Amino acid sequence: MENRPRPSREFFESLLASAQGRADVRLLQKEPLERFLDLVLDVVTAEPSCVEWEPREMVVVGDTHGDYRSTNHLLDAYPSTPLVFLGDYSGRSREKFDDIRNCLLVFVAKLLSRDRILLLRGNHDDEMVSSENGLLQSLREMLGAADGEAVWKKVVAIFHQLPVSLVMKDLIVLHGALPKVGTLGEIRGIPKGTPFVDQPLLTQVLWNDVTSRDGVADSERCPGALVYGKSTLLELLAAVGRKVLIHGHNYAAKGVGCDGADICLYTCETYFYLPLGTPGDPPDVQTPLPGNLIAHYDGQETIGIRALPAFHLGEVPLFEVRVPSDGPPSAASVSSLRATLFRSLHDRFKHQGR
């Protein structure tokens, strides 16, 4: 790791204020911002492509897509708990510069708590996608065309060096869905530092989807990616020696599927009210899920699927997945007054078109 010059304390204070929405992000200057990004790059470059942790409590955060408010809430709510972010930090922002704020916020968190915060790579965390999803345009507007593109290239370098998977006990955690592999070693061997178009397995990790329909089909979202159902997922989990996949990427997922073997998280509040599927879709696609989902793993056998605070109810437990050491996983809805109120209020607001 290079001995790089560090930005000043004053810069870090203004950086954090800007990332949290307390200050105008356009006041940040190119040179100290680039020095900060170089420090973050050093940290993530030192991490392996496949991170392997001993069993521990953790919170898994789905796609945030510029939702710096939810990111900030989670960083405040879990100041000492390991946090795993599933990628897609930019794109689809509700307001101008939110994508920049969210990227800077997770980068600050990583730099300050490198062993506790794990940033995985998503399909939007790529040179091609981030040049089209609004991030490059936001940086150009923030800093000017030339300086904005220079800073964007530094952000892309960080994106390309992010780990692509986490393995812990019976769990495997990544952005899209498991690639078609025969061993965990193939996932461990996925290289970092390149666009996904150069790496077929990386493309699948970032773009694959799990669906309610069985079988395997080519994805319409990205050439080289796949969409598959429960039987294929279980085969791939067995091949890599795991029981549960935790991932993001798929906005049409229920949150928990395949009897608990598939946990899909979208944390971005933009997707709090999801559109109905088409009449030909399976029931779980037709029914919008309660958004803002995260997963809390106790480090042993239980994964709780929760919704972030909504309707003044605080975090709401919705599902519980049990992963026993001597059998397959199982999933059940959580019965509680808060969960009942949440589902009722969510359904009411959904039908009001909010």
Strand segments (E) across the chain: 50-52, 58-61, 83-85, 117-119, 165-168, 171-174, 209-210, 216-218, 226-228, 244-247, 256-257, 262-264, 293-297, 302-307, 316-322, 330-333
Q: State the DSSP string of 88-107.
A: --SSS-SSTTHHHHHHHHHH
- Count how many domains the chain has: 1
Q: So what's the pLDDT on residue 92?
A: 76
> What H or E segment, with its residue span, contains residue 281?
none
Query: Is residue 4 situated within a structural domain?
Result: no
Query: Is residue 3 situated within a structural domain?
Result: no
What distances in angstroms separate CA 164 from CA 41, 119, 206, 240, one per listed residue?
15, 9, 8, 15
One-letter amino acid at 168 equals M
**What CATH number should be reported for the domain holding residue 112?**
3.60.21.10
Q: So what's the pLDDT on residue 309?
A: 79
Query: Is residue 293 situated within a structural domain?
Result: yes
pTM tops 0.85, yes or no:
yes
User: In angstroms, how far apart are the furthest CA atoms of the chain?
Assistant: 58
Q: So what's the pLDDT on residue 338?
A: 83
Q: Print pLDDT tens along the chain (354 aa).
A: 567 778 889 999 999 999 999 999 999 999 999 999 999 999 999 999 999 999 999 999 999 999 999 999 999 999 999 999 999 999 877 788 999 999 999 999 999 999 999 999 999 999 999 998 889 999 999 999 999 999 999 999 999 999 999 999 999 999 999 999 999 999 999 999 999 998 999 999 999 999 888 899 999 889 999 999 999 999 999 999 999 999 998 764 467 889 999 999 989 876 544 444 444 444 444 344 445 889 999 999 999 999 887 766 788 888 999 999 999 999 998 888 888 887 777 666 655 544
What residues make up the domain containing 337? 9-351
Q: So what's the pLDDT on residue 229?
A: 93
In which order are the strands placed within the sheet that holds 226-228?
209-210, 226-228, 216-218
Q: What are the backbone dihedrals phi and psi of residue 103, each rounded to the nearest 5 degrees, phi first?
A: -60, -45
Query: Is residue 41 situated within a structural domain?
Result: yes
Tokens of 150: 């220079």
Q: Among 143, 329, 140, which Cα is nearest to 245's?
A: 329
Query: Is residue 166 situated within a structural domain?
Result: yes
Query: Is residue 1 situated within a structural domain?
Result: no
Q: Give the residues across from 320 on adjacent strands.
A: 304, 332
Counting Cα atoms < 13 Å in the Cβ hemisphere of 344 gives: 8
Q: Among 72, 135, 136, which Cα is nearest to 109's?
A: 72
Query: Is residue 332 situated within a structural domain?
Result: yes
Query: Is residue 306 situated within a structural domain?
Result: yes
Counting Cα atoms < 13 Å in the Cβ hemisphere of 103 gives: 35
